[in-house]
Chain A
Amino acid sequence: MKGYDLVELALRNLRESVFRNSLTTVGISVGVASLVAMLSLGIGLQQLANRRLQKSGLFDTIRVTSRRDLRSLSREEGESGPDALESPPLDESARQKIALLPNVGEAYPEIRFVTELRFQDKPHLTVVSALPSSARTTDAFEGLEGRFFSSDAAAEAILEKSFAQRLLGSSRNATTNPAALLGQQLTLRYGERTAMPTPASATSSDNQPDMAYSVTAHYENLTIVGICDLDPDSMRGQARARVFLPEQLAEGLHVMDPSNLRDSTNMPGGSPTYPALEVRVASPRYIPTVESAIREMGFETFSLLDATKNLRQFFAVLDVFLGIFGSLALTVASIGITNTLVMAILERRREIGIMKAIGATDRDVRGLFFAEAGAMGGFGGGLGVVLGWALGHAINAGTNVYLKRQHFPPAQIWFVPWWLVASAIVFAILVSLVSGLYPASRAARLHPVEALRYE
């Protein structure tokens, strides 16, 4: 019998016992729904964790430092790249080279300094840090009050919430709502570093002029444009900053940094260097190759990639467990399919005999029962995916209501990818076909004379 005839006959047979077959199909769909809901929950949680981690910048960022740095003196023998004293300086030229490496999104200097801020004529000592425009996408700005910097060089500042509250506490403002600070002015007081020519006597042995700086006090007026809940730099820096400036503006300030003092003694004639660079790569999977390329250039690197491996392993195990629990209902449903088809054989024994008498082969009869099992699996799978999707939606909605009550931001903890939809339907069909194996072969083996004699 041709394939489409088999399917057509199977569907019409299913319609004949519509109630019983519908119940069996619903059984399968409940099984598939539980499987889809469980797995989509696992996938959703994994994606949520990945999204949070990616936004935090912890796993797609490499911190680059110079080997001339004191911390690098203890580095192990046998590491790639040149030795500390022969290693290149971490300056603008190095930054540009690193930024051009494959899969590197951006490389920007870590600018972080302790300085004085004046608000309503009151001084406040705090840590100031620069943020690149890419930081706009980090989760620290999900609950941002106000806005992000209008440009990379704008004279604007974003304050960390607790610092903003500190400013308000010491000010004449009656309110403690940090949003009241938006649009107000803040004065940054800092020491500007200016390169200056050195006396002729102060030249190094290789006739290169040594570096000299003059440091002068400067003021920069900043407009407060945003208040953020979390530290956007999170764990990346050594110190937690409270005030954030646009990267280009901060660079242009030429704030005197302790490392400049060191450079003045060990960096003959060179340009100013950076204490550290933050290198963001397109995806955490490129971290090892980019790290190795940077090391080859003679710099030290640090990343937190290994932590994601453990995380991925955890979610793989979680997915397996959720899949097993989800499959239990499908196993019960498969027993239902076998039962339904065995009942159908008993009821349709004479019909099978008639079909054999007019020319149906064993293969036709087996195929017919297989097609019926497969059709129930297909319908059950399709319905199950819809049910699972609805269940996932409900769990997500319920979780978000709970999160809202606990004052947490909403989260998407459930996700159904297209491959899960396709796999769930295929799996349901396969399970149904396996369940149909015994009934189908039993129907095919029926002796036509005995089947015709059956009343």
Chain B
Amino acid sequence: MHNISLLLLLAIPLLGSLAIFALPAGRELLAKQIALVLSTATFAFAVVLGCLFKVSDNRADRFQFNGSWTWIRSFGVHFAFGVDGIALVLIGMSTLLVPVVVLASWNSFDSVEDMEETPAESAPKRSSKSYFALLLLLEVFMVGVFAATDIFLFYVFFEAMLVPMYFIIGSFGGPRRQYAAVKFFLYSLLGGLLMLASVIGLYVSAGTSSFAFTDLVGHVPTGATQKWLFLGFFIAFAIKAPLVPFHTWLPDAGAEAPAGGAALLVGVLDKVGTFGFLRYCLPLFPEASRYFAKPILILSVVGILYAAFLAMGQRDMKRLVAYTSVAHFGFIGIGIFAFTTQGGTGAVLYMVNHGLSTGLLFIVIGLLISRGKSRLVTDYGGTAKITPRLGGVFLLAGLSALALPGMSTFISEFLTLVGTFTRHKAIAIVATSGIILAALYVLLLYQRTMQGPLNERTAKLRAEGGFKDLNARELFAVGPLIALILVLGVYPKPVIDIINPAVKFTMQDVGQTDPQPLHAAQPGGHK
């Protein structure tokens, strides 16, 4: 098993990152070009892998493109990669977001953003070169974390991911970036270290002298041990995801990170948490997963409602979007812990769609902020009149966030809720009210910033020659995301086909079969 394709997928951005770090100062343009070309190449390569991926219900084909090399012999650690359908679509989504972010933040750090509320502490004049190098480095770790099939290796990527994101927030973020960066790092590190305790415990108690995922599944002792080990993993992923009440770092980090960084933070890094639930918590600890499912479902539903209300109350647009993500996570959480194939498939599709739509939303808001020089909702109004294209993209991103039918997010939200309903009716019903709340906070945001009379501040900026509509580069950056959201909204079958077998295997691992529909003719059955 020495398929090197996933290794190559990691090598492309790694090379790019090293090359950009090695560039002499002042070669910003070349740095951007390298970043754009190599991240696009990575995406193209991921698409090729996606096309080669064999959709099959055969368990032997669960992981494909497997490659494994001994890394640390004494621990039984392997440099082992392989993807199942879940990992594959998430890698596809992540590698798409990176070039989009590169393109969208092309000029972000050339002109120093000075936020009006704190002119003294404006963003530092730092070369944008390191920003793009960090983005590519982050991409290496993001792909690695999804592609690793060795739990030790997964942990290494999981922790290593923090470092570039920490510097992206801390060096290029908003006024409170120091606080946000440290909070992000410490929260994640604490979770990561608890997971490390569980990883060691897993290794010791399974007694397999191997960290390979496939070797460990089914070898975890049951009972109290399994519950403790589960909790270690669970807390790490719950912080990452983030699940209420572990979410408080996200609004700070999401608000202070530069828009591109925030898109990756919420779009991809948070997905690592939910991906971890599906890949590691459920198959490794089936008994504990069933044991803790109820409280997790309840926390998820609480998260949906609580975060939605908080989102409505935010004045800061980026904080608002960060809170919507906490709410959306709740949907993913119930989809996973309902233990139905529909719910699981819906949850994975939700992760992909949420990455796309929240990524889009953060990027659009970043573009808006770069024009209006303020993150506050009240500093905008009637903007769509002077910047119709920006307004249109904003509306589309918003509608996608509230899961309007026709958008890809609708399919996933629907699948998740249906999948949950078959097992936990009350949970599904309460969660559904989250959809209405989502419509409220999104439409209110759109109405306040884009509709109504033109804000005086905006008009003044416009008169000074600022506040232009989206240019071709920016449209080109958001184009692929919009296209994908619309296409997947109408025809999600290819993605669902890839996801479905992987979710079925996971549900088999956790020992749950789908409940029988109440009526044989119930619509929305298995795809």
Pairing of A with B: no
